[in-house]
Amino acid sequence: MKSCFTLLKKSSRSAARLGVLDTPHGQVPTPIFMPVGTRATVKAMSPLELEELDAKIILGNTYHLFLRPGEDLIRAAGGLHKFCAWKRPILTDSGGFQVFSLAGLRKMKHDGVEFSSHIDGSRFFLGPKESIRIQRALGSDIVMAFDECTPYPCTFPEAEKSLEITLRWAEDSHAQELNDGQQMFGIVQGSVYPELRERAAKAIAEMDFSGYAIGGVSVGESEEDMFLAMEHSVPFLPEDKPHYLMGVGTPYQILGAVKRGVDMFDCVMPTRLARHGSAFVTGGGTIPAKSARYREDFSPLDENCRCYACRTFTRAYIRHLLNVDEILGIRLLTIHNINYFLRLMERIRLAIQNDTLEEQGESIL
């Protein structure tokens, strides 16, 4: 498949890379963080607010959009971009993560998965052909091959069997037709086993996708195992195509992954922690914004942040909103947290450009 990725610069002291990904809806500078918009919306955010934060690309989910509102309705609306009024690029997951997360509601078949809907129990089938068909109807810029997200923990034979399924489904996905301009990424699985990760990366690379993802991480394994999964995957992927780490993660994990050659990230963490009252702050940690310690704290969430929430409101006010269950509190924390991740990626890109990423270390967080 055609690659629309341009590698601009490599770090002299790590595998960190600077690049740009061309899509029908605009260019995406890498390394990049993609806010998660599972059901055609990034929770608590409007498209205008995301544009004001300069989010370059967001993520949607095939499984959930297939169930509600349905591919036919989105196709009739003119595609996912028009349906949700987002003019910039969209990447859609394939539904492979739900093969893992909804294990109690599915039955594995040779050519896909028979699900019982988590909404009403109705049965439907999702496999490589169906997943790519749905993503074609959605009109996303980047579609993901259908895979099985390998559960953790699992034995070597279980992981090997799961990998065989993913490789078979990758070939089936690759054979499906795409819209003009759409790109498809293959997914590397293999759990925590270096031999399987290397085998998977080499096999997926031979299929010549437009980009490559490392899946099956952040599913319960240790951070050390997560980094090892990257180290036994990324070196065997084509250098001239983007590398995407799925579902990760903390600022520290993102920085570590960039140094290991990863270009793209998504995670629900910024929005989910906002809904639970936590704000990311300089240094990569979080503060419990609902805490009584901030009752009379009239400083911003983060003195170093220039997002709307930090320019305009105090910790005391945001704490008040959260403690009286006002929706604005969650919205302000979400704006702040997404801004933190997007500005982190800007700092990382600048450091790679200046070849100072390793020199700056964790001070960049």
| Cβ neighbours around 267 below 10 Å, total | 22
Q: Identify the DSSP state of 275.
A: H
Name the active-site residue from 93, 147, 172, 263: 93
* Residue 308 confidence (pLDDT) above 90: yes
Quote the CA–CA distance of 363 and 44 in Å, as a whole number: 30
> For residue 253, what pLDDT is reported?
98
pLDDT mean across residues, the chain: 97
Contact (CB, 8 A) for 90 and 144: no
| 355 part of the active site | no
Average the pLDDT over 216-229 and give the result: 97
Specify the long-range contacts of residues 347-350, CB closer than 8 Å, at least 24 apart: 348/16, 348/31, 348/254, 348/255, 348/258, 349/18, 349/29, 349/30, 349/31
Contact (CB, 8 A) for 306 and 336: no
pLDDT digit string, tens, across residues 321-344: 999 999 999 999 999 999 999 999
Average the pLDDT over 209-214 and give the result: 98
> For residue 1, what pLDDT is reported?
84
Q: In the structure, what pLDDT confidence band is assigned to residue 100 with cuts at 50, 70 and 90?
A: confident
Q: 314 to each of 39, 270, 325, how far by Cα in Å?
A: 31, 19, 17
| 93 part of the active site | yes
Q: In the structure, what pLDDT confidence band is assigned to residue 12 with cuts at 50, 70 and 90?
A: very high
CATH of domain 5-267: 3.20.20.105
Sign (positive or negative) of CA dihedral 56, 249, 148, 71: negative
DSSP 325-359: T-HHHHHHHHHHHHHHHHHHHHHHHHHHHHT-HHH
Q: Is 312 in a helix, a strand, or coil? A: helix
pLDDT digit string, tens, across residues 121-171: 999 999 999 999 999 999 999 999 999 999 999 999 999 999 999 999 999
pLDDT digit string, tens, across residues 177-191: 999 999 999 999 999
Q: Identify the DSSP state of 85.
A: T
Q: Which of 2-6, 111-115, 139-143, 155-159 comes out lowest in average pLDDT?
A: 2-6
Average the pLDDT over 2-11 and give the result: 93
Q: In the structure, what pLDDT confidence band is assigned to residue 3 with cuts at 50, 70 and 90?
A: confident
* Residue 99 confidence (pLDDT) above 90: no
Contact (CB, 8 A) for 214 and 246: yes
> For residue 132, what pLDDT is reported?
98
pLDDT digit string, tens, across residues 50-76: 999 999 999 999 999 999 999 999 999
User: How is the chain split into domains, by residue range?
Assistant: 5-267, 275-334
As a dihedral over the C-alpha atoms of residue 346, residue 312, residue 48, residue 30, rounded to 10 degrees, the angle is 10
Quote the CA–CA distance of 85 and 87 in Å, as a whole number: 6
Name the active-site residue from 141, 172, 263, 266: 266
Average the pLDDT over 343-353 and give the result: 98
pLDDT digit string, tens, across residues 234-256: 999 999 999 999 999 999 999 99
- 74 CB-near residues (< 8 Å, 6+ apart): 40, 65, 80, 83, 137, 138
